[in-house]
Structure 1
Amino acid sequence: MSSPTLTDKVAKMICQDILSGELKPNQKLVVAELKEKYNVGASPIREALIQLSWIKYVKLEPQKGCWVAPISKLELYDLYESLKVVSSVLLEKSIQQGSESWELEILTEFHKLSRFKFQGDNFNWQEWEDRHEAFYSSLLSGCFSKNMLDFFNDIIRQVKRYRRISLSHSPKAFSELFNLEEHEKMMKLTLDKDIDGARQQLTQYLNDMMKDIEPTVSEIEMN
């Protein structure tokens, strides 16, 4: 049995290679090849793959093998439909229940997002995504719905994989990710407790993002 620390480290490396597109959807994951790639033993590789199957980044079939999880337009639509429903409910509940500390968290995360420095085509995608995700998560964190928030985070993990795969193919397609005015509008509607306006803005934002991801998914499905 390998140490949890090593297993977690290997899982993180494999996860990053899946998100970056180095390990592609439907690609078979062979333990011997991964041992050489990551310079670790077989046990942490196997345990890491099991961990990644729990978050649906990896598909395991007993006696057959292991693959990077496939992607499809059908799953993309289902994920975004689920995301729109649960995020809309969480946003409404947060606006109704959110405290002053919640409002401060939103302002703080927006400030961090607005301070991100773009440096040409080679800027830090991971840092941007972390700030972007932290801002939108803060909008929904004001409610008392742990189970629903856990469900939201599970969906976000899946959506993140689709988004990162698409970003690796066509980063310029995601112009709305960098439109600070749209994020600021989302923040103001939320802090103004405009439930209908905030929900509409969030739904439109998610719809636009799904449309940006769809061409890449279609291309991969055809190949």
Structure 2
Amino acid sequence: MRCIVSSPTLTDKVAKDICQDILSGELKPNQKLVVAELKEKYNVGASPIREALIQLSWIKYVKLEPQKGCWVAPISKTELYDLHESLNVVASVLLEKSIQQGNENWELNILTEFHKLSRFKFQGDNFNWKEWEERQEAFYLALFSGCFSKNMQEFLHDIIRQIKRYRQVSLNRYPKGFEEIFRIDEHEKIMKLTLDKDLDAAKHQLSTFISAMIKEIEPQIDAIEMA
């Protein structure tokens, strides 16, 4: 008998759709994910659903328990604090290495990504947070890309994915709170200090920004845990 495996392209699409619904809040933390219900929701067979859930468990957006089932991964202040500390440490190290090792292409990449970010303006209730998130992430990844440290870069990407889910949960509940800390001049300060190779000041400014972001997320996680 020939084993039938779903198309990688279809599986990737389903994983992306489920991921987006987790980030948008349509699928909530701790929500049970039932394959039969997901088949109907995404109009695909069971195999791509199961494979997509496995993919999402690798990036910690989904929690799988053998013989028990599958859930949207939970969130907690304890994990948020752990992610905050981890991001502070690895971002500081990568920024230092990038300042020490970065070349002209690295500097140009930073300037390019900052320009893209600066062109995106806050526009009230219709603000496109998804595109802003993508541009902001690209800018910060450019900052940390000046050095070659594959394992730390992978660790950074993993932490960023986890914090992105927490930040999105908070944005879904109260987007106004982020407008102040996401102002373009805050990012510009970090960029200028980095390009000036002012290591201590750049690391301090980056840590301040990360702490402000976590502080803005925290009340919403409190509210969810108390609900």
The TM-score by the shorter chain falls in which range? over 0.9
Match of residue 39, structure 1, among 27, 39, 43: 43
1:152 aligns with 2:156: yes
Match of residue 61, structure 1, among 58, 61, 65: 65
Runs in 1 of length 4+ with deviation above 6 angstroms? Answer: none
Deviation at 1:167, TM superposition (A): 0.4
Q: TM-score, normalising length from structure 2?
A: 0.96
What residue ranges of structure 2 are gaps of 5+ in the alignment? none
Matches within 5 A, 1:13-28: 13-28=17-32
Partner of 2:200: 196
Q: How many residues align?
A: 223
Matches within 5 A, 1:1-223: 1-223=5-227
SS at match of 2:75: coil
Distance 1:37 1:15, change over 3 A: same
Kept after mapping to 1: 8 A contact 2:181/2:212: no
The residue type equivalent to 1:139 in the other structure is L
Q: Deviations over 1:33-69 (max 9, x none)?
A: 1111111111110110000000000000011000000
Deviation at 1:126, TM superposition (A): 1.2
The residue type equivalent to 1:143 in the other structure is C
Q: TM-score, normalising length from structure 1?
A: 0.98
Q: Deviations over 1:95-124 (max 9, x none)?
A: 000000000000000000001143321122
The residue type equivalent to 2:20 in the other structure is Q
SS at match of 1:71: coil
Q: Deviations over 1:8-36 (max 9, x none)?
A: 00000000000011100000001111111
Q: Deviations over 1:139-176 (max 9, x none)?
A: 11001211111110011000100001110000011123
What residue ranges of structure 1 are gaps of 5+ in the alignment? none
SS at match of 2:219: helix
SS at match of 2:146: coil
Q: Deviations over 1:169-217 (max 9, x none)?
A: 0001112343111111110000000000000000000000000000111
Q: Distance in 2 between matches of 1:150 and 1:186?
A: 22
Of stretches 117-126 and 210-219 in structure 1, the one that deviates more from structure 2 is 117-126
